[in-house]
């Protein structure tokens, strides 16, 4: 009779559906509502709690189908604006838009469910320690090496609290994700094994304790000499994707008004003018064009703007005494800007969908814009829109050119007045901490903003508004461990070797007592 009652509780579908709905709701609060707590405390709590709860049920026999359902519902809530964007901006039928969105939701949900499935296998094989190593390694593998349409990172949820965010200088956003899932697996494994309270609480203590230690250690990292300049960012509120005459003239009218109001440039201080992605369309800006340099020279400033040329999404920079700078987007967004796959498949998809895939640019030592300042030559590495989502792409660009400042040029007009612009910023703000240098975010329609190496950040205005932002920026570049490619390789190697050792049972911490039947999937 007792066995029958246990099976009844395991298979109760309404209870499992309620659990999935609660987990999906927590996902939405953490990643779908910008600044849910106002200060980042709630997001930091949920960043650990959600993986722990997901794996607690999985380790105790909950069917993975319920876990998958929770992820799907959560992602639908977070990215609920995607189908409408695809339909309206992509000029596609509603059914096609929802099909494409469904594939995105399902694929990302499958990835995280696979992480939990692997952690559960490791738990059954090697107990809570094996589960922790396996969850950390699988999370790194999924986030850093998996194919993604939109490369969002679980660890971005820790970017709201500067003290915790500063630990990204050591761990990176990928490391945050691995730490959250690894400690969450240890917590769930301790519960499933019936450990004492002290042992169970060791997981959250290790998670937040590690973040605090690394966050405090940030203050002891070496710093470069102080840099400073005046910045003007223009948010022209042009219609996304529209090519029309007069775009440059309109943006210059806004820029000149902002420069006059701020009384810039001023003696003894360099001025940087930033325009967003797609601020000048319909003109091929790949080749020499002396007039553009003259525009910057007669105003006494350095100018970086988003444009295009052929099948390339470009940023171009002009500064007095420096060669013209042209950089194409290195990683066009799959499906949105470039169809994935080998050339034959990509061309077939282009023909069937009436699409024209962008070509990727090359990332080299010349992918850094240089301008002269009173403190010497300043090297700036621009990231075009979704490129800033990737810690690896950002690190590679900074390392190649020795950048001392990051800029992000974004066309967020595709998202209208949705929360997408806030969510995008939340996902990229840790790039400044990882690389130890500020990142200036210039957007076509808002919100523009600034993230700093110390984990503090600002985001201004509202979506679909015209604005300019003029301010003075001073900083000391920080030499962070995350700037080196070896940092990511270290975390991969450490978690991978531990996972292998536990999987092969070279390390035997004791196996899990929970190795029973799994309930029926929904």
Residue-wise pLDDT for 392-418, tens only, equals 999 999 999 999 999 999 998 888 888
Q: Provide the pLDDT for residue 38.
A: 64
Integer Cα distance of 175 and 410 in angstroms: 26
Strands 376-384 and 405-410: parallel
304 versus 152: the higher-pLDDT residue is: 304
Q: Provide the pLDDT for residue 509.
A: 65
Q: Provide the pLDDT for residue 516.
A: 46
Tokens of 418: 């949705």
Of residues 251, 260, 320, 321, the one with CA closest to residue 281: 251
Of residues 134, 133, 157, 172, the one with CA closest to residue 30: 157
Residue 266 has pLDDT above 70, yes or no: yes
DSSP conformation class of 444 = S
Integer Cα distance of 130 and 58 in angstroms: 15
Q: Provide the pLDDT for residue 340.
A: 87
Q: What is the pTM of this model?
A: 0.92
Q: What is the pLDDT of residues 294-315, one digit of tens each?
A: 999 999 999 999 999 999 999 9
Tell me the average pLDDT across 149-159: 92
Tokens of 81: 């604006």
Residue 514 has pLDDT above 50, yes or no: no
195 touches 212 (CB < 8 A): no
333 touches 361 (CB < 8 A): no
Q: Provide the pLDDT for residue 4.
A: 40
Integer Cα distance of 522 and 28 in angstroms: 22
Integer Cα distance of 138 and 115 in angstroms: 5
Q: Do you find a cis peptide bond into 5, omega within 30 degrees of 0? A: no
Integer Cα distance of 219 and 478 in angstroms: 9
Q: Do you find a cis peptide bond into 265, omega within 30 degrees of 0? A: yes
Cβ neighbour number for residue 402 with a 10 Å cutoff: 11
Measured CA to CA in angstroms, residue 140 lies from 120, 153, 178, 273, 502 at distances of 16, 10, 6, 37, 17
Listing from the earlier edge strand, what are the strands of the sheet with 457-460? Answer: 369-373, 376-384, 405-410, 439-443, 448-451, 457-460
Q: What is the pLDDT of residues 278-288, one digit of tens each?
A: 999 999 999 99
16 touches 22 (CB < 8 A): no
Residue 6 has pLDDT above 50, yes or no: no
Of residues 38, 32, 3, 438, the one with CA closest to residue 233: 438
Q: Do you find a cis peptide bond into 447, omega within 30 degrees of 0? A: yes
Q: How confident is the model at residue 521 (pLDDT cuts 50, 70, 90)?
A: low
Dihedral angle of Cα 305, 310, 313, 319, to the nearest 10 degrees:
-30
Tokens of 200: 């169970």
272 touches 230 (CB < 8 A): yes
DSSP conformation class of 283 = S
Beta bridge partners of 312: 309
Q: How confident is the model at residue 485 (pLDDT cuts 50, 70, 90)?
A: confident
Q: What angle do CA 150, 154, 160 make, to 5 degrees?
A: 110
Q: What is the pLDDT of residues 169-207, one digit of tens each?
A: 999 999 999 999 999 999 999 999 999 999 999 999 999
Cβ neighbour number for residue 512 with a 10 Å cutoff: 19
Structural fold of domain 227-329+360-479: Nitrilase/N-carbamoyl-D-aminoacid amidohydrolase (3.60.110)
Integer Cα distance of 337 and 314 in angstroms: 13
Q: Provide the pLDDT for residue 289.
A: 93
Tokens of 450: 């600034």
Residues 6+ away with beta carbon under 8 Å from 96: 86, 87
Residue 520 has pLDDT above 80, yes or no: no
Residues 6+ away with beta carbon under 8 Å from 153: 143, 173, 174, 176, 177, 389, 391, 427
The CATH 3.60.110.10 portion of the chain extends over: 227-329+360-479
Q: What is the pLDDT of residues 48-96, one digit of tens each?
A: 999 999 999 999 988 999 999 999 999 999 999 888 887 776 677 788 7
304 touches 275 (CB < 8 A): yes
Integer Cα distance of 285 and 304 in angstroms: 12
Tell me the average pLDDT across 342-366: 89
């Amino acid at each position: 009779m007792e066995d029958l009652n246990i099976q009844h509780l395991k298979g109760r579908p309404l209870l499992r559906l309620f659990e999935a709905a609660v987990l999906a709701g927590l996902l939405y609060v953490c990643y779908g509502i910008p600044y849910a707590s106002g200060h980042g405390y709630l997001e930091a709590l949920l960043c650990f709690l959600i993986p722990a709860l997901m794996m607690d049920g999985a380790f105790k026999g909950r069917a993975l189908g319920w876990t998958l359902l929770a992820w799907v519902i959560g992602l639908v809530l977070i990215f609920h604006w995607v189908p409408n964007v695809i339909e309206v901006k992509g000029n596609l039928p509603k059914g096609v838009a929802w099909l494409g969105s469904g594939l995105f939701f399902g694929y990302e949900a499958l990835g995280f469910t696979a992480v939990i499935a692997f952690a559960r296998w490791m738990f059954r094989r090697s107990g809570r320690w094996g589960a922790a190593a396996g969850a950390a390694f699988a999370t790194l593998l999924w986030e850093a090496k998996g194919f993604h349409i939109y490369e969002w990172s679980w660890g971005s949820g820790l970017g709201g609290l500067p003290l915790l965010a500063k630990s990204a200088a050591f761990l990176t956003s990928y490391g945050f994700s691995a730490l959250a899932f690894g400690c969450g697996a240890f917590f769930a494994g301790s519960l499933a094994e019936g450990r004492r309270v002290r042992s169970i609480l060791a997981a959250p203590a290790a998670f937040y304790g590690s973040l605090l230690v690394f966050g405090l250690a940030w203050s002891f990292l070496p710093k470069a000499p102080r840099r400073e300049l005046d910045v003007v960012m223009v948010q022209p509120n042009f219609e996304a994707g529209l090519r029309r005459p007069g775009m440059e003239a309109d943006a210059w009218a806004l820029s000149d008004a902002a420069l006059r109001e701020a009384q810039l440039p001023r003696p003894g201080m360099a001025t940087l003018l930033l325009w967003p992605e797609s601020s000048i369309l319909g003109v091929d800006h790949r080749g020499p064009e002396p007039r553009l340099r003259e525009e910057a020279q007669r105003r006494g400033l350095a100018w970086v703007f988003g444009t295009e040329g052929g099948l390339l999404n470009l940023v171009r920079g002009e500064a007095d005494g420096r060669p013209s700078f042209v950089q194409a987007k290195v990683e066009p967004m799959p499906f949105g800007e470039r169809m994935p796959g080998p050339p034959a498949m990509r061309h077939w998809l282009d023909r069937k969908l009436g699409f024209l895939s962008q070509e990727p640019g090359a990332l080299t030592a010349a992918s850094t814009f240089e301008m002269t300042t009173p403190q010497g030559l300043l090297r700036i590495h621009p990231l075009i829109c979704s490129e800033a989502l990737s810690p690896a792409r950002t690190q590679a660009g900074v390392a190649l050119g020795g950048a001392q400042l990051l800029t992000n040029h974004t066309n967020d007009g595709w998202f209208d007045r949705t929360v997408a612009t806030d969510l995008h910023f939340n996902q990229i703000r840790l790039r400044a901490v990882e690389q130890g240098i500020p990142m200036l975010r210039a957007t076509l329609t808002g919100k523009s903003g600034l993230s700093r190496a110390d984990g503090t950040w600002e985001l201004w205005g509202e979506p679909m508004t015209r604005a300019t932002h003029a301010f003075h920026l001073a900083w000391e570049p920080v030499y962070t461990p995350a700037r080196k490619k070896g940092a990511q390789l270290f975390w991969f190697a450490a978690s991978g070797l531990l996972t292998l050792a536990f999987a092969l049972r070279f390390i035997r911490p004791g196996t899990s007592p929970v190795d029973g039947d799994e309930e029926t999937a929904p």
